[in-house]
Amino acid sequence: MPRDRHDAMFIKGNNCKITNWASWFEYRELERQTIKLPAGGDMPCAIFFPADYSVGMANLGLHYIYRTLRETGVAVERFFAAPIPYRSVERDTLLERFPLILASVSYEADIPLFARWLGGGGVEPVREHRETSSSGNAPLIGAGGAVTYINPISLSGICDFIVLGDGVETTRGLVEILRQGLPREKMLAALADHPSIYVPSIHERGRHLLEIAKTDITRDYGRGVWITERTVFGDTLLLELQRGCVRGCGFCTLPSCFAPARSRGLELVKRDIEEASGAADFSRIGLVTPEAGDYKALDELIEFASSIGKQVSFASLRVDGITERMMKAVIDGGRHSVTIAPEAGDENLRSKTGKRFTNKRVVDVLKMASDLGAKSAKMYFMFGLPGETDEHLLEISKLCATARDETGLKITAAASPFVPKPGTAWREEVFEGEKNLKRKHAIISRSFGGLSGVKLQTAGIREACIEYAVSWAGASASRLIAEAALSGASYKRLVNMTDRSKTCFEFERLGLNAGTTRKGAP
Ligand code: SF4
């Protein structure tokens, strides 16, 4: 994803173009389904993922919601931001044919893109404008996805309703309500009665107690619907192992917003692999899990996959949890590069983040990777962390240089600003802001100057400012995000509107005390 994509989107306003006729035919031809889904349906519904096809199709949440909708008889068709934004993957249908548009939003910074995509497709992105529009046939717009566990209010300026938390069960209830065919106002009132559906036009008034749904993942789906070479993971079956995380890194949303930590048993997981193998060809199993090493039956799973000729890949390798067997599985799976996240170059600062391993352990793990055949490593760091000094920043390049010298691997250091998020243990920590982050970035960049075999990549500082502002957006800021899709308002206005205490007050009013385990959670 281009680094400045969100920034450009927020600043330049609506420059999204409706494409000339183009077809998804070649993409469809490459898709294999791991499960037979009912054809047709009685309720035309567009589901949008705010990224390009290769990224969206690698998101298991999209697979789950699509499957739920198809199994409940909804005629759902997929839309992605690129390469053909306003025609559906299934049948090249134009967006304008859909009276219901749902979005699966994983990242805060994708909310402005969602608004802009709507605007570019001729759909009014500002919810209140649709409510007062005289035509009365504006589509109904809803959203779900990972951001709804953290700050659903950030979508309230755009969406008529927002599905909170784990979406499969709630989506079944949502479809039942929509199928009643009620007039718009009555339908929104019926949706607002659901404990895990947030309806801004109703819930923004008065005090309400909503629940971020957390389901038993052993009863939910566990595998992806499609396999296609055109995703970022290639020819891979997506397979969920765990949700939430048992560890407690202060900056991370997983141990708090996605709590409690839940796991799918080995037999269930094996059954998914067997059923998918019977339905479609694939060479690799991509484990969808926060920390693969925390899955108790990981060794047996790797063995099982190998016994049926499948490779296994992990999204992340936690330095203090990785074993030689896991590393071997990664390398045997065809990856010549390993990815780890030390977060800080200084051990004490790292320990404060919740990651308690030494620099020696980092180097030992990379040495293991090198001995097993890896050629390069990517190391993720953050800057702007609580308690960080300028000396701490210099430790990042030192650790990378040591790793290069002792392992022979080519090293890429990816450094991104720390963004405090609602619901995390570090939700009240300071966000450093553009000026200080630029200063710190300059220190890091200078320290990497002249290091051969080590490359520095830094995430956009403006992008982090937008992410911070969107993750804490209350109702007014969310409306500004929607308006900016057409007006091209400056992102600085949004950043200046950020008021964490006001947003916390709005959470409180909705009973969304983000980060705590809600009643009803398993
Ligand atoms: S950073 Fe990784 S280990 Fe830490 S809480 Fe998040 S998912 Fe768990």
Q: Which domains does the chain have, with CATH numbers?
A: 5-17+30-203 (3.40.50.280), 214-308 (3.30.750.210), 317-458 (3.30.750.200)
Between the CA of 78 and the centroid of ligand 1 the distance, in Å, is 31
Between the CA of 341 and the centroid of ligand 1 the distance, in Å, is 10
Q: What is the pLDDT of residues 187-217, one digit of tens each?
A: 999 999 999 999 999 999 888 899 999 999 9
Q: How far is CA 292 from CA 245, 286, 298, 315, 321, in A?
A: 10, 11, 7, 8, 9
Q: Report the SS3 class of residue 198.
A: strand
Cβ-contact 292, 322 below 8 angstroms: no
Cβ-contact 155, 470 below 8 angstroms: no
Please, what is the end-to-end C-alpha distance for the chain in angstroms?
Answer: 36
Q: Report the SS3 class of residue 232.
A: coil
Ligand 1 atom nearest the C-alpha of 246 is 8
Bigger pLDDT: 387 or 14? 387
Confidence class of residue 30 from pLDDT cuts 50, 70 and 90?
very high
Closest CA to 55 of 95, 121, 6, 105: 105
Is the pLDDT at 513 greater than 80? The verdict is no
Between the CA of 253 and the centroid of ligand 1 the distance, in Å, is 8
Ligand 1 atom nearest the C-alpha of 318 is 3
Which residue lies with its CA nearest to atom 7 of ligand 1? 290
Locate 261 and state its tokens: 């930590």
Is the pLDDT at 522 greater than 50? The verdict is no
Between the CA of 247 and the centroid of ligand 1 the distance, in Å, is 6
Q: What is the pLDDT of residues 112-130, one digit of tens each?
A: 999 999 999 999 999 999 9
Best mutation site among 291, 295, 314, 356 for ligand 1 pocket (most ligand atoms within 8 Å of CB): 291
For the chain, how many residues are written? 522
Between the CA of 237 and the centroid of ligand 1 the distance, in Å, is 23
Q: What is the pLDDT of residue 333?
A: 77
Cβ-contact 342, 350 below 8 angstroms: yes
Between the CA of 259 and the centroid of ligand 1 the distance, in Å, is 12
Between the CA of 308 and the centroid of ligand 1 the distance, in Å, is 31
Is the pLDDT at 381 greater than 80? The verdict is yes
Which residue lies with its CA nearest to atom 3 of ligand 1? 247
> What is the DSSP code (8-state) at residue 194?
S
Q: Report the SS3 class of residue 226.
A: strand
Best mutation site among 149, 246, 252, 319 for ligand 1 pocket (most ligand atoms within 8 Å of CB): 252
Q: Which residues line ligand 1 (CB under 6 A)?
A: 245, 247, 249, 252, 254-255, 290-291, 318, 354
Q: What is the mean pLDDT of residues 364-377?
A: 96
Q: What is the pLDDT of residue 9?
A: 38
Is the pLDDT at 496 greater than 90? The verdict is no
116/121 Cα distance (integer angstroms): 9
Bigger pLDDT: 370 or 493? 370
Between the CA of 255 and the centroid of ligand 1 the distance, in Å, is 7
Closest CA to 153 of 115, 188, 111: 111
Best mutation site among 149, 241, 245 for ligand 1 pocket (most ligand atoms within 8 Å of CB): 245
Q: Which residue type is seen at 99? A: P
Q: What is the pLDDT of residues 243-283, one digit of tens each?
A: 999 998 999 999 989 999 999 999 999 999 999 999 999 99
